C-alpha cells in the first residue's frame, strides 16, 4: 500500500505536473497521486474511496463556485484534510479558506520546497498557512449561513444546485443527470429548504456568497 494517497484537484495540467514533481520528490516514490480536473471528477473519485490522506484543491475549479468545492468537501468528507491551492494569494482569500475549514493554503507562486513543507505538515496532522497579514475581514453572517447550508447538501443535490444556478431548467437537469424530472423537483425542494431560500435567484445569490472575497 502507498505511504500516502493524495488527490490533486486542479484544471491546469502544468500545475498538476509541478505538484506531482514536488510531492514525489518530497514524499518518496511510495506516494500515490491521483489527478482530477473538475469537481465532478473529484466527487467520482471520492464516491469510489473516502480514505484519502489529503485533497489538494484549486480554488477556481470547473464545477465550483469559489469556495463551494471546499465547503462541499468539508460537509461530505470531514475526515479528509483539504489544502487550498490558488493563484489568488490575498490575505482575504487565505482567511476565507481557513474559516471554511481548510487545513492549509498553498499559493501557486510557492517554491517546490514550500509545497513539500506544507503538504508534509498537513499529512502529520497539523495545518499550514502562508505568512500573510491577518488584517482581512472575517466572514459575514450571510456567508457563514451559506456555508452551513451548502455543507448539508448531498453531492447530487450540490450538482443540481450548480445546474440551477447556471440557468438550466428541471427538464434539462433531468436529462444531464439521467434521472426523472420528478426526482429533480424533489432535489430542488430539498435544496431550497436546506438553504432557506424560495427561488432559483435566491439560491444563485447564496452560492455567490462563496465566490466573492471581501476587500481587506
The answer to whether 116 and 22 are in contact (CB under 8 A) is yes
pLDDT digits (tens), the chain, 216 positions: 458 899 999 999 888 888 888 898 888 878 899 999 988 899 889 989 889 999 999 988 877 777 888 888 888 898 999 999 988 888 888 888 888 889 999 998 888 889 999 999 999 999 999 876 454 456 667 777 777 788 788 888 888 888 888 888 999 999 988 999 999 999 999 999 888 888 888 888 887 777 655 544
Query: Which residue in the block uniquely carries the three cell numbers 491546469?
Result: 12
- Domain residue limits at 58: 4-124
In a domain, 216, yes or no: no
Q: How many residues does the chain have?
A: 216
Q: Is 128 left (phi over 0), alpha (psi -120 to 50) or beta?
A: beta
In a domain, 180, yes or no: yes
Domain shared by 105 and 201, yes or no: no
CATH number of the structural domain spanning residue 10? 3.40.50.2300
Domain shared by 26 and 115, yes or no: yes
Which of these three, 64, 99, 124, is where a domain ends?
124
Query: Residue 189 — φ and ψ, nearest 5°?
Result: -60, -45
Domain shared by 14 and 120, yes or no: yes
In a domain, 130, yes or no: no
**pTM above threshold 0.85:** no
3-state SS of the chain: helix, strand, coil percent to 5?
Answer: 50, 10, 40
Amino acid at each position: 500500500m502507498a505511504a500516502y494517497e493524495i488527490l490533486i484537484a486542479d484544471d491546469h495540467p502544468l500545475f498538476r505536473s509541478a505538484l506531482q514533481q514536488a510531492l514525489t520528490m518530497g514524499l518518496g516514490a511510495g506516494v500515490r497521486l491521483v489527478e482530477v480536473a473538475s469537481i465532478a471528477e473529484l466527487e467520482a473519485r471520492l464516491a469510489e474511496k473516502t480514505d484519502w490522506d489529503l485533497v489538494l484543491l484549486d480554488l477556481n475549479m470547473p464545477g465550483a463556485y469559489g469556495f463551494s468545492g471546499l465547503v462541499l468537501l468539508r460537509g461530505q468528507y470531514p475526515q479528509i484534510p483539504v489544502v487550498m491551492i490558488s493563484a489568488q494569494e490575498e490575505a482575504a482569500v487565505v482567511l476565507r479558506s481557513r474559516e471554511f475549514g481548510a487545513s492549509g493554503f498553498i499559493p501557486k507562486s510557492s517554491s517546490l520546497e514550500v509545497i513539500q513543507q506544507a503538504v508534509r505538515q498537513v499529512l502529520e496532522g497539523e495545518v499550514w498557512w502562508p505568512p500573510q497579514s491577518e488584517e482581512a475581514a472575517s466572514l459575514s453572517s450571510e456567508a457563514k449561513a451559506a456555508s452551513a447550508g451548502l455543507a448539508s447538501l448531498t453531492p447530487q443535490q450540490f450538482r443540481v444546485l450548480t445546474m440551477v444556478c447556471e440557468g438550466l431548467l428541471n427538464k434539462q437537469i433531468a436529462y444531464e443527470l439521467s434521472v426523472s424530472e420528478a426526482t429533480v423537483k424533489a432535489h430542488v425542494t430539498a435544496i431550497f429548504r436546506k438553504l432557506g431560500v424560495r427561488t432559483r435567484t435566491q439560491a444563485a445569490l447564496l452560492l455567490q456568497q462563496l465566490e466573492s472575497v471581501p476587500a481587506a
